[in-house]
Amino acid sequence: MSADQPVDCRPVPGTSTGELDEMWRRQLVWWHVFFGVLVATTAGVLVAEEPDHLGWSLLGVGVIAAAYLVWGRRGIGDEERTAGVRYVAVAWVALVALMAVDGTGTAWVLTFGLFPQTWAMLRRNHAAAVVVAAVLAIGAVRLWQAPRTGDDVLGIAISTVITLTLSLVMGLFIHKLIREADSRAFTIDELRRTQAQLAAAERAQGVASERERMSREIHDTLAQGFTSVVTLARATEAALDRGDLEVVRERVRLIEQTAADNLSEARLIVAEMTPGHLQSRTLSEALGRLVDAVAAESGMQGTLVVQGEPTVLPANSEVVLLRTAQEGLANVRRHAQARTFEVRLTYAADAPVSLEVADDGVGFAPDDPDRGYGLDGATARAGEVGGRFEVSSAPGAGTRLRMEVPR
């Protein structure tokens, strides 16, 4: 029920607004019982007092009761505005007429039901206007019935003003409370909808991030492994053409080893584990094996330099450093046309751990938009662990990749 609308008894399941409306619906039975008690009490008192116009008085009470059964009940219960308006109009006219006929003032009891019903069935401004008109009409009836002495007129005027003030203040206060409850319920529903949208967005972002991560994993491991297999296969074919069986055996052994490493990486990626090169070995050991494998495959001279005292890093940081080395050496092998390369791992006191991959190859322009997916992936990896990645290169001057990760 809102401040400008009657009670809404059609709840929307699963929402705070629906729960509030359902609460109002459960309270309706008490509205009916309370008003029924008021009508029965008024009729009973009238019969007991036996006023001069008992028949007309009971008729007035009966009209109000019938109007409530026909229109009032629906005006409160189902938000049928027209039914509510009809009931309020008929009930107040009947009550004013009843008070004019009944000289005992017993009918005044029914106002305890009609005032809240008016506020519940009509919009705020309309309800306030009806209350003002009803109180003034009742005051006029009392004035017409009174002896019209100065004290009586003053008493009726004061009581009318008090009744009008209390009716308006209480009605507007109740409307404000209802409006606040309705507003809070609406706000809670909006928050829930926003939370649901944020959750959906986070799920979508998580899926996208996971896809990007998997693409980097495949690029940095499987794709590079397959490239090595292709390169070794071509070298093996060339050795077969020359009849150099010793070289062929060595290349076949390297192909088998590379394929086995690739298979291991694939299984670990599927199992959401750390890179295979880091299984059961330190980062420096994994880098040493990687350098030896690339040197053996490519024929270049490779060197691993470890400076400082090695320390254990978070698993994600070690993965980032290893992947950077893999990406750098893959580029050296495929594009650099270098004779030598160096991988340098530095553990400096009170400073980030750094990894450098340098070669004496042909180099490239770092700002080239077609520089490749792998370097962009390395930049993204650095951001994931709070690190920094940079590339130093120029055509004909070799290339140096540097990754820094916090301890």
The per-residue pLDDT for range 25-35, each reduced to its tens digit, is 777 778 888 88
pLDDT confidence of residue 169: 85
Rounded CA Rg of the chain: 44
Q: Average pLDDT of 40-63?
A: 80
Q: Average pLDDT of 11-32?
A: 69
The answer, yes or no, to whether residue 5 has pLDDT greater than 60, is no
Q: Which two tokens stand for residue 89?
A: 């109009």
Taking the C-alpha atoms of residue 330 and residue 117, their distance in angstroms, rounded to an integer, is: 82
Q: Average pLDDT of 228-250?
A: 83
What secondary structure does DSSP assign to 157-191, as a single string?
HHHHHHHHHHHHHHHHHHHHHHHHHHHHHHHHHHH
The answer, yes or no, to whether residue 85 has pLDDT greater than 60, is yes
Contact by Cβ (8 Å): 270, 260 = no
Computed from CA positions of residues 371, 374, 377, 382, in that sequence, does the dihedral angle turn out positive or negative? negative
End-to-end alpha-carbon separation of the chain, Å? 59
Which is nearest to 110 in space by CA: 121, 100, 119, 98? 98
Per-chain mean pLDDT for the chain: 79
Q: How confident is the model at residue 271 (pLDDT cuts 50, 70, 90)?
A: very low
pLDDT confidence of residue 9: 41
* CA atoms lying within 13 Å on the CB side of residue 71: 17
The dihedral over CA atoms of 379, 360, 367, 231, expressed in degrees to the nearest 10, equals -70
Contact by Cβ (8 Å): 74, 82 = no
* CA atoms lying within 13 Å on the CB side of residue 308: 15
Taking the C-alpha atoms of residue 177 and residue 183, their distance in angstroms, rounded to an integer, is: 10
Q: Which two tokens stand for residue 172?
A: 């507007």
Q: Average pLDDT of 199-218?
A: 67
The per-residue pLDDT for range 345-383, each reduced to its tens digit, is 999 888 899 999 999 988 888 776 665 566 777 888 888
